[in-house]
Structure 1
Amino acid sequence: MNPIKTTRNGAIFEVTLDRPKANAIDLQTSREMGKVFAEFRDDPALRVAILTGGGEKFFCPGWDLKAAAQGDAVDDDYGLGGFGGLQELRGMNKPVIAAVNGIACGGGLELALSADIILAADHATFALPEIRSGTVADAASIKLPKRIPYHIAMELLITGRWFDVHEAHRWGLVNEIVPAADLMTRARAMAELIASGPPLVYAAIKEIVRDAEDAKFQDAMNRITGRQLASVDALYASEDQQEGARAFAEKRDPVWKGR
């Protein structure tokens, strides 16, 4: 049984991690997720992805400790894109929405952090409990202090304590809290809105954000204005760039072609 279910709905690509009982990720599952997200990245017909978990209790608890006990090494080859197939996937210039439908802890929370937008069910809970098993939440140690206040991030990393969706929203970790029954409806509505927009602009935004993360402002601006970023160069030379200007002048909705 394939633990990864995918659905195409026009330009929207839904990815469901469905590996009972808890949607934990072992090496095989991680490698499969990498292939799935690479498929999304490389298909020009797809513009936005939704990642969620199967069932109502777990989004993802992260690394499968039972598989680890049976021989899966924590430092083994997770496949294309690293753990969960998303957080280290090169050239991922399309928007990804995480629809967190339940518990997101450890690597599962790190997976959600790899998305661009996080919607969470009203019963979702979060934690980085790696400290309790004598290891480090490596990706979260890099990302979390950049996403929420430093001292809060450090507390969560050092204590491994659980926190609910309302606290996550208060710190800006999730965009919206949604009743569980409405989570996928809301995620699909947001995906449809994004899919109707200019894909080349989204690609430029994502590459600029990545490139500028640790750069000085002027250095980042020089790379943009110098058209040193592939996605920005493609945007400025595109039909869509001209179409946007024409549509504005003609007071009509633009028709985006992604070229």
Structure 2
Amino acid sequence: MTTSQDNADQVIVERRGNVQLIRINRPEARNALNGAVIQGIGQGVLEAENDPQLRAIVLIGTGDKAFCAGMDLKEFASGGTGAGLGSSEAGEAYQRLSRGQVSVPVVGAANATAVGGGLELLLSADLIVASSAAKFGFPEVKRGLYAAGGGTDVGTRIPLNIALELLLTGDPITAERAYQVGLVNLIAEPEQVLDAALAVAERIAANGPLGLAASKELARLAVTDHAEARRRQGELQKSVFSSADAKEGAMAFLEKRSPDWQGK
């Protein structure tokens, strides 16, 4: 395992085999998003996308109080947080993450409660492992606002009536109910959330990276733009099925060994 710490230790990025672990490290601020955190997360995403040996990302917060409290309102009020979403590569990578457009599969590890902007960040992940003690919700309407950072898209992940319950009442739901309605994939005891998320990420990382990227892109497109998904299906089938990795996958199966993926 190798470790690098950036942005004054507010984001810690660790390589765990073929998995990139990105940890928001501001427990005293409930892991709220400031410019440094946004840049740090974005940089961790860029590293994963540019390294063919990194085939999955786990995103987690530090501590047992919050996964992420959303935007740091103090820094936002002073105009500082927006700097993290500037024209830098890391800022653009963070924005792609928030739109579900990062090519590497992302596992969200909800070490604690995620509400508002924190839940919006968590929903940028493809799969979610949640602490049994966590709660999830969009309280914005209680303050005369709405979930403007992507929260209103939650109906693409769960039944519409449940999405509207979250958005219109502003009330949180438990981890158990979040699992029942399909908001999270797996529940773990609080101290086991990271291990459970890494185990899921390792299962993903064992698979072919081209197939993973294509599967993620097409599945997300099928929800939002079915016609575009059909068009991209034709393009990706040609490139993925004719790749060296496709040949390697077949040979590894015949030779009863683990494949050696090259990402090409």
Task: Select the structure that is richer in helix.
Answer: 2
Residue number in structure 1 paired with 2:249: 244
Residue number in structure 1 paired with 2:229: 220
1:258 aligns with 2:263: yes
* Alignment CA distance shift 1:89-1:169 (3 Å): closer
Contact 1:102 1:125 in 2 (8 A): yes
Gaps of at least 5 residues in structure 1 are: none
Helix, strand or coil for the counterpart of 2:168?
Answer: helix
Residue number in structure 2 paired with 1:93: 103
Q: Distance in 1 between matches of 2:204 and 2:249?
A: 16
Q: Offset at 1:171?
A: 0.6
Q: Distance in 1 between matches of 2:165 and 2:92?
A: 28
CA RMSD of aligned residues (A): 2.3
TM-score between both structures, scaled by the size of structure 1: 0.87
Q: Which amino acid aligns with 2:22?
A: V
* Alignment CA distance shift 1:78-1:29 (3 Å): same
* Alignment CA distance shift 1:182-1:20 (3 Å): closer
1:12 aligns with 2:26: no
Residue-by-residue CA offset, 1:31-89 (whole Å, 9 max, x unaligned): 3322221222222221111110011221101111222333447x776242476772137
Aligned sequence identity (%): 38
1:139-218 equivalences under 5 Å are 139-216=149-226
1:37-186 equivalences under 5 Å are 37-72=45-80, 78-79=85-86, 80-81=91-92, 86-88=97-99, 90=101, 92-186=102-196
* Alignment CA distance shift 1:247-1:71 (3 Å): closer
* Alignment CA distance shift 1:65-1:236 (3 Å): same
Q: Distance in 1 between matches of 2:27 and 2:229?
A: 44
TM-score between both structures, scaled by the size of structure 2: 0.86
Q: Distance in 1 between matches of 2:261 and 2:94?
A: 33
